[in-house]
Amino acid sequence: MASGPSRPLRLLGTKIPYVEGPLKVTGRAEYTDDIHRPGELVGRLLRSPWPHARLRSIDVAAARATPGVFAVLTGEKYPTPFGVLPITHDETALAVGKVRYIGDIVAAVAARDERTAEEALAKIRIDVEPLADYPDPQTGLSKVAEPIHARGLNGTNVQKEVVQHFGDVDAAFARAARTVRVRGSFVGVTHAFTEPLVTLAEATPDGRLTVWSATQVPHYLHRSLSEVLGIPMHRIRVIKPEVGGGFGGKSDPLPHEIVCAALAVETGRPVRMLLDREDVFFTNHGRHPTQNDVRIALDADGRILAYDIEAVIDGGAWSSFGTVTTYYNGVLAMGPYTVPNFRYRGRRVYTTKPPSGAMRAHGGTNIRYSVEVALDRLAEETGVDPFDLRARNALPPHSLTVNQFRITSTSFLKCLAVARERSGWDSKFRRLPFGRGVGLGCGFYISGSNSPIHFTPKMPQSTVHLKVDMDGGIAVHSMQADIGQGSNTLLAAIVAEVLGVDLERVHVQRVDSDVSPIDIGSYSSRVTFMMGNAAREAAEELRGKIVAGAAALLGVPAEGLEVGHERIHPVGRPDAGVPFLDALHRAMESTGALQATGAYRSPTLGGTFKGARAGTAPAYTFSAYVAEVDVDVETGEYRVEKIWAAFDCGRVLNRLAVEGQVEGSIHMGLGQLMGESMNYRASRLFNPSLLEYKVPAPQQMPEVEILLVGDDDPEGPFGAKEAGEGPLIATLPAVGNALYDAVGCRFLELPITPDRVLKGLDLRAKEGRRWKGA
């Protein structure tokens, strides 16, 4: 496997502007909705107004008879269940037999225009038997009259229960010097990506189906389309144009994508399905509303003895990634610390609400908040500085956790040291005036899930193909999904770095299942690590061929040559070499255009117990953030003034992209902390709009000081690890703990809105507790 670089890097490590940037900022980049096909129809969805109901009959005759309507679909036509995880296929393209939330898709229409489609939908008559709805996961833990899914455990709405125990937690608590318990409560939040969900599908007379879609997972979409529509994969072509953000909200194959393709098949015409924002909110798959209960035991030396964790997470109507989420809420709680005894019980419960799923820092965010608040309390109660407590418990590099996660590189101690120093922690903590405070939060995240979802780890998770012809332009094919995070740029930069050529020679091709070798997509923070290694391998193979051409031209053995800037030359003698193009053309004499391929396979990781693979990753990232806040103690409003973000993502490959990810992650984390909330009353979502769903305004962003301190990872491409999700996690507890330092109140319900801050202050006043002189 690739290790450190053999010569200084030329391009990687600098700030590399996105290769598609000029197209995006001038409006020329092609997103799904920019693509037009002749004779297009408009697809529209009819959603359930009932939270839970049995479908008795659906009368579509009048809709079908409406002039300009080409097809009307209901669930019976394509009832094959699907879902992102093969073990939990419980989703259907359209409702079959039952509807399970307000917004569940009941019928779909393809018509000549939007108005006709909506007119037709209005004519559909649905006869239902309303059923009891279950908005509260707590209710669903016991037997219910009408389980939302038949697969609920023993007549309950529990979709997945995880019970794990390593070591002896009870014994550890019995001998603990100090214990703490924190119960956190978290509402659901959603991705709020910019580009709404959109799909275009066309069935052509050659028997093929082409689907363009705003997706993070073209390959999973490809599989699901094939399964549900009953068309072999080789007759389906999935194209991923530019995507305007995903954050996990486009990482499932989604029902509207399948419905759109089905309508194209039914009509033989291209069908466009552009969802509006309310549709996007109903599709959701956002972060699970969560109740967690964390107990931590410390010994007399301030070492963590044990974690005992329970979590109940609200899955909404479908499974989505939920089985993974259920595991993650436990297993991702341990790192960045050594936890010798660990017990976890997690339950994911179906409710009659829009489905929860994966969202940036999936499964690692809510539990992290509670753990870090608990550690903050333990530090206070034992009279130890929060930094010292964490440093004392840091996971060592090249170690195994109690649940057999293989830890390789970690620069967590460096993160702690630099965050402490840069933030001026020692002069601020508990020393700022009442209303002002600093807090520390730390984080830990996977750098790519080690398990490909649909096949064994023997198959590559990522494959990259290169092709170069006489023009000297290098075409790069891979199904890696750039969703705005910069993976196209990284792919091009790695190829350019290895070959020594200018970035402009490298052309990353649009994802197209006809030509792109499989990479399983942009989720689980896997792309840089896995695609990066595949790209490097492919580029090295290509370099070998071109260097052989140079060797032939120069009449010297290839072993004595190295790649310089657009040249291949004897080691240390740039003047004696040949231009890249000359070497390329010589190399092409025997085969014509050159090709090369590279692939990344996961290592064998994890234990053999049930669920052992959940959370295993070829590397992990670490973080330590300090936040400084200023609270208006009369209104409860507060401002996060600054965040010092120390992050270990291994070697930084594109500084511009990494810094963007850290800033964006902090913005998203602050959103969940300060005001974002899927507001439900019973099963009804009250704020399905970007006006009432409170993504923070730019003015709410604090100053961010980014401190990238990672050492090279032994297996990451050029030493790199992920930077897409890990940077979010520490944001929330850093601010939560800073609020405590500011006003002496613990906030365990998110979001921390001003009224909750006031409630905390009221409670403190009532208890007569004084804080920093107030």
Partner 1 sequence: MHLDPFELHRPTTVDETVRLAGALAGRFDFLAGGTDLLPNYKMHLNLKPHLVALEDVDELRGFSADRLGAMARLADLERDPAFAATWPSVADAVGEVATPLVRASGTVGGNLLLETRCFFFNQSYFWRASLGFCLKADGDRCHVVPQKEVCYATHSGDLAPALMVVDAEVEVAGPAGRRRLPLADLYDAKGDGVRRLTLAPGELLVAVHLPRAARGRRGRYKKLRVRPAYDFPELGVAVAGRWTGDRVEELRIAVGGAEPRPRRFDTLTDALVGRTLDDARLRELAEAIGKSVRPVHNTFLLPDYRRRMVAVYVRRAVAEAREGTAG
Q: Which residues bind partner 1 (CB under 8 A)?
A: 47, 49-50, 102, 114-115, 118, 276, 278, 634-636, 675, 679, 684, 686-688, 691-692, 694, 696-700, 753-755, 758
Is the CB of 104 or the CB of 482 nearer to partner 1?
104
Kindly tell me which of 549 and 751 has the beta carbon lying closer to partner 1: 751
Close Cβ partners of 211 (under 8 Å, ≥ 6 residues apart): 199, 200, 201, 202, 221, 225, 236, 237, 238, 239, 257, 260, 261, 264
Residue type, 92: T
Cite the DSSP H helix spans in 642-695: 655-674
**Complex with partner 1: residue 471 or 762, whichever CB lies closer:** 762
d(CA 692, CA 491) in angstroms, rounded, equals: 38
Residues 6+ apart with CB under 8 A from 626: 419, 420, 422, 423, 425, 438, 439, 440, 643, 644, 734, 738
- Who's near 559: CB < 8 A, 6+ residues apart? none
Q: Which is nearer to partner 1, 61 or 122 (CB)?
A: 122
Q: 546 CB contacts (<8 Å, ≥6 apart)?
A: 499, 568, 580, 583, 584, 587, 594
Closest CA to 489 of 654, 720, 717, 662: 654
352-370 burial: b if 16+ Cβ within 10 Å, else e: bbbbbbbbbbbbbbbbbbb
41-47 vs 105-111, strand pairing mode:
antiparallel
Which residue, 27 or 555, has its beta carbon nearer to partner 1? 27
> Quick check: helix, strand or coil at residue 536?
helix
Rounded to a whole number of angstroms, the minimum distance from the CB of residue 581 to partner 1 is 49
Nearest CB to partner 1, comparing residues 351 and 654? 351
Residue type, 328: Y
One-letter-per-residue 3-state SS of 31-43: EHHHCCCCCCEEE
* Alpha carbons within 13 A on the beta-carbon side of 649: 28
The minimum distance between CB 114 and partner 1, in angstroms, equals 5
CB of 103 to partner 1, least distance (A): 9
Cβ proximity to partner 1, 75 vs 636, nearer residue: 636
Beta carbon of residue 105, minimum distance to partner 1 (angstroms, whole number)? 12
CB 745 to partner 1: min, Å: 16
Q: Which has the closest alpha carbon to 420: 108, 707, 84, 133?
A: 707
- Asked if 457 contacts 601 with a C-beta cutoff of 8 angstroms, the reply is yes
Distance CA 289, CA 189 (A): 8
C-alpha to C-alpha distances, 621 to 74, 361, 374, 408, 736, nearest whole angstrom: 45, 11, 21, 10, 22
Other beta carbons within 10 angstroms of residue 591's beta carbon come to: 9
Between 125 and 573, CB nearer to partner 1:
125
The H or E element that residue 117 is part of is helix 114-122
- Interhelix angle 366-382/731-743, rounded to 10 degrees, is 40
Q: Which is nearer to partner 1, 660 or 688 (CB)?
A: 688
CA distances from 188 to 247, 677, 678 (A): 15, 6, 5
Residue with tokens 């466009």: 272
Beta carbon of residue 698, minimum distance to partner 1 (angstroms, whole number): 7
Which is closer to partner 1, CB of 66 or CB of 687?
A: 687
For the chain, what is the total number of helices (H) and then of strands (E)? 19, 32
| Shortest distance in whole angstroms from residue 549 CB to partner 1 | 56
Task: Select from 423, 373, 397 the least CA-distant residue to 707.
Answer: 423
Nearest to 482 by CA among 149, 3, 122, 21: 21
Q: Which is nearer to partner 1, 25 or 122 (CB)?
A: 122
Minimum CB separation from partner 1 for residue 115, in Å?
Answer: 7
Alpha helices in 319-435 (DSSP H): 322-331, 366-382, 386-392, 412-423, 425-428
H or E stretch including 266? helix 255-267
| Residue 75 C-alpha from the chain's centroid | 30
**Nearest distance from residue 757's CB to partner 1, in Å?**
10
Cβ 634 to partner 1, closest distance in Å? 5
Q: How far is the CB of 341 from partner 1 (least distance, A)?
A: 42
In the bound state with partner 1, the residue whose beta carbon lies nearer, of 118 and 380, is 118
Contact (CB, 8 A) for 269 and 546: no
Q: What's the min distance (Å) between Cβ of 699 and partner 1? A: 5
Least Cβ distance, residue 278 to partner 1 (angstroms): 5
Give the residues across from 582 on adjacent strands: none
Between 458 and 766, CB nearer to partner 1: 766
Least distance (Å) from partner 1 to the CB of residue 538?
45
Helix (H, G, I), strand (E, B) or coil at 102: coil
Q: Which is nearer to partner 1, 158 or 275 (CB)?
A: 275
> Residue written as tokens 């269940």?
81
The minimum distance between CB 752 and partner 1, in angstroms, equals 12
From the CB of 121, what's the least distance to partner 1, in Å?
10
Do 348 and 159 contact (CB within 8 A), yes or no?
Answer: yes
> Which residue lies nearer to partner 1 by CB, 276 or 504?
276
241/219 Cα distance (integer angstroms): 14
Nearest distance from C-beta of residue 110 to partner 1, angstroms? 16
Based on CB atoms, which residue is closest to partner 1, 30 or 692? 692
d(CA 297, CA 32): 52
Q: Which is nearer to partner 1, 42 or 305 (CB)?
A: 42
Residue 114 vs 421, nearer CB to partner 1: 114
CB of 258 to partner 1, least distance (A): 21
